[in-house]
A and B are shown apart, each in its own frame.
Chain A
Amino acid sequence: DQQVKQNSPSLSVQEGRISILNCDYTNSMFDYFLWYKKYPAEGPTFLISISSIKDKNEDGRFTVFLNKSAKHLSLHIVPSQPGDSAVYFCAASGSSGGGADGLTFGKGTHLIIQP
C-alpha cells in the first residue's frame, strides 16, 4: 500500500510559468515532509521541507504548502527555469524531532520545463 502518492508521473511547463507538483499521503502519523529533486545519474538532492505545525514554507522560488485535513502537499516553483527539469520526489517521515525513521517516498514526478 502506497502511503505517499504522486499521481502525475510527468508534468510539462513553459519556462517562466509556475510549476505545481502535488503529493498525497495516507498515514496520519507523518509529521514532516520533504521534497527532493533528482537528476539522472545523481542521488536525490534536498529542496525544501515543512513540518506539520506549519502550512507553508518558502525558500526563494520554491514554496511548499501543506493541507493536513486533506493529507495533501504541493510544491510551487515560480518562475520555472530550464535547470528545474528533473524528477521531483515527495517524502514523508513519522519522526517527531528525534525519533528514528526512514523516509517514505512517492514514486516521483518528472518535470519538464519547455523553452
Chain B
Amino acid sequence: DSGVTQTPKHLITATGQRVTLRCSPRSGDLSVYWYQQSLDQGLQFLIQYYNGEERAKGNILERFSAQQFPDLHSELNLSSLELGDSALYFCASSPRGGWDIQYFGAGTRLSVL
C-alpha cells in the first residue's frame, strides 16, 4: 500500500459529460502529480501541484483542470469528455518535488462510452 488513495476505482460515463477524480496523498506529502495511461501512449504526465499551487504542467488538455485543496487532497476535473479520454488516471505524491520519489495510487479507470 503506497499510502496514496484514489477514488473512484472505476468510472463509466458518456461523451460530453464531466467527471471529477479525487486523490489523497501520503500523509505529509506536499506535491501531487497526475498522470494518464492510455493503451498507445503509456504514462503521460499531466500536471503537478505543490502545497496548493500549480507547479508544473505536462500534456494536459484545456478541457482538463486540477486543483489542490488546503488539506492537500487533489481533484482532476475532466470535461466535454471524448472517447479518447478513456484511460487509467494515476495520482502520485511526494514530500516536495524534484528528486523526491513519487508514490503512486492504484488509479482510476475511466471509460467514456
Contacts and interface: CB of A to CB of B under 8 A. Distances in A.
Interface of A: 32, 34, 36, 41-46, 49, 51, 89, 91, 93, 95-108
Contact of B4 (A43, A51, A91, A104): A43
Contact of B45 (A32, A42, A102, A108): A102
Interface in B60-95: 90, 92
A12 B103 CA distance: 27
Interface of B: 2, 4, 33, 35, 42-48, 50, 55-56, 58, 90, 92, 96-99, 101-107
B50 to A, nearest CB: 7
A108 B107 contact: no
A93 B106 contact: no
Given A43-B90, A97-B98, 15 more contacts: A32-B99, A44-B43, A45-B2, A46-B103, A49-B99, A89-B42, A95-B99, A98-B97, A98-B98, A100-B55, A102-B33, A102-B35, A102-B48, A103-B43, A107-B42
Contacts of B42: 89, 105-108
Contacts of B106: 41-43
A106 B55 CA distance: 23
A105 B99 contact: no
Contact of B46 (A32, A93, A102): A102
B104 A45 contact: yes
B104 A43 contact: yes
A98 B100 CA distance: 9
Given A102-B45, A102-B56, A43 B101 contact: no
Nearest to B109: A41
B97 to A, nearest CB: 5
A13 B96 CA distance: 37
Contact of B56 (A41, A45, A51, A101): A101
A72 B45 CA distance: 21
Contacts of B105: 43
A105 B90 contact: no
Nearest to B41: A107
Contacts of B92: 43
A100 B48 contact: yes
